[in-house]
Structure 1
């Protein structure tokens, strides 16, 4: 008896093997070894507790960035993006986890209601992200009420390259700040000049905020703003500890209540 496989047997066995492979494929599996699949997943970086560690920034870079951002989404975003955006680029995490667009709401004194100036809103939020010292927020808001804006000019202006008239608001409110500037300049609130003015103001507020934060980082910050005499005098009666006790504020009183008393 021979050990050799006949031609007929060979053809029969080969056909059976091919049929088995085909059935396996139709059944949803393969008899061939599967390729190894490696699944990778990014592990989120831990977000540190508040306040986040600040790193000193270039004031001029922040101003230019805030100015450009103002013309994207307004004053609050301009100031916040000017500061936090620079920290994202220079420091990275955790600042890269903060979407700066969240500050857009503050434009026009909070979606156009004319309350707190958006530049102050965004700047204060940026300050509070890296510090618990609210005296720094008092400083930037208080300075704003006493500063003649705008004094700064961008490298390349968006609306006009002209030197613009300045005004002192005496108030942190968008409505008061814009109206006083319009009265002083003669330009309308919807004019390109007013938009340019607010863009430059946003840059100045962001830049001054960074100067204060840099001072904090160096250990040299010292608050110098003091409430106006009108606030001290009026709050003697109207403040929390006064006999009237119907006011809880430290904005200049006489701007809105100049004729509050006849005597």
Structure 2
């Protein structure tokens, strides 16, 4: 190796220093360029098609750990596929522990998954408002609705009357005759999960202006024409409001008709007309007992008749 004089050595040292500095700067620049800021909460919501949501959630129920993860993953996966970042940063399977009412048959896991989605896109107050709308709908809706495989078992519908997994599942099993471990029960819960997810998306679509809220038909809520001796009353049943018309003959109850109800078929038939016949015979609601196996429906009928009688002049 030839000897370097002082001048050549300094030139070489300078080049080495500059080169090292340049190389050292590359990772920092690349890292800064690769770094992407996390989106602020609440995240921006983008619309989804409800039919696509139902199909994905129904399928994910079996592959992603049940109702809670089925709902959350179904929605998040579609958002990721359609819109990319940041929706592709969350794996909805993290909610798999919500199945079976969070392992305690408490809050329905499908609702839990839907509530998590609402909380991702809404402020606390707005999220709470839509949550309560979802609660009210769930507790009074006869499930299942979605039936992509046309399964006979899913033609059996039941109302939970609460947000609890055990009420929702047990009511359906009592009517259908299928046990908890059956494929039919699993299909029913997959369908319910799809229904809940679609309702959550409907509420989000409406909230953010991507969908118009369904209008209420004026004719559907119009009160029937009443004679002078006819009175309308409303009571709270298992599935929602029970509306009756009471016809009076002087001071006596002549007839009781049920105009509207959202009770479970089979259960309501136990209460009506047994309870209303007893009220007519007693000429009042005092001392009238609920029918075994139809307590909520019975009490709803009694309350509705009492409401109607309170209007008798």
Deviation at 1:163, TM superposition (A): 4.0
Match among 186, 194, 201 for residue 192 of structure 2:
201
SS for the counterpart of 1:195 is: helix
Matched, 1:47 2:41: no
* Aligned position for 1:150: 144
Alignment of 1:76-91 (within 5 A): 76-91=68-83
The correspondence of residues 31-70 of structure 1 with structure 2, limited to 5 A, is: 41=31, 43-70=34-61
Q: Which fold has the larger relative contact order, with Cα–Cα distance below 8 Å and residues 6 or more apart in sequence? A: 1
**Cα offset for 1:88?**
1.3
In the alignment, structure 1 residue 94 sits paired with structure 2 residue 86: yes
The 3 A distance-change label for structure 1 pair 71 and 44 is farther
Q: 1:174 corresponds to which residue?
A: 165
Displacement, 1:45? 2.1
Asked if 1:109 corresponds to 2:101, the answer is: yes
Distance change (3 Å), C-alpha of 1:91 and 1:131: same
Query: Alignment partner for residue 138 of structure 1, among 129, 132, 135?
Result: 132
Deviations, residues 72-114 of structure 1 (Å, cap 9, x unaligned) = 210000111121221111122221121211111111100x210
Q: Deviations along 1:198-227, whole A, 9 cap, x unmatched? A: 0000001101111111111217569x9xxx
1:164/1:193 contact within 8 Å kept: no
TM-score between both structures, scaled by the size of structure 1: 0.66
Contact 2:74–2:92 (8 Å) recurs in 1: no
Q: Counterparts of 1:70 and 1:46 in 2: how far apart (Å)?
A: 32
Q: Name whichever structure is richer in strand by fraction.
A: 2
Unaligned 5+ runs, structure 2: 3-21, 217-234, 238-294, 300-313
3-state SS, counterpart of residue 108 of structure 1: helix
Would you tell me which structure has more helix in proportion to its own residues?
A: 2
Q: 1:16-35 to 2 correspondence within 5 Å?
A: none
| Matched residue SS, 2:106 | coil
Cα distance between partner residues in 1 of 2:178 and 2:135: 25
- Which TM-score applies when normalising by structure 2? 0.56
The question of whether the paired residues in 2 share the 8 Å contact of 1:67 and 1:200 is answered with yes
Root mean square deviation of aligned Cα: 3.0
In the alignment, structure 1 residue 125 sits paired with structure 2 residue 116? yes
Could you tell me which of 41, 66, 70 is aligned with 1:74? 66
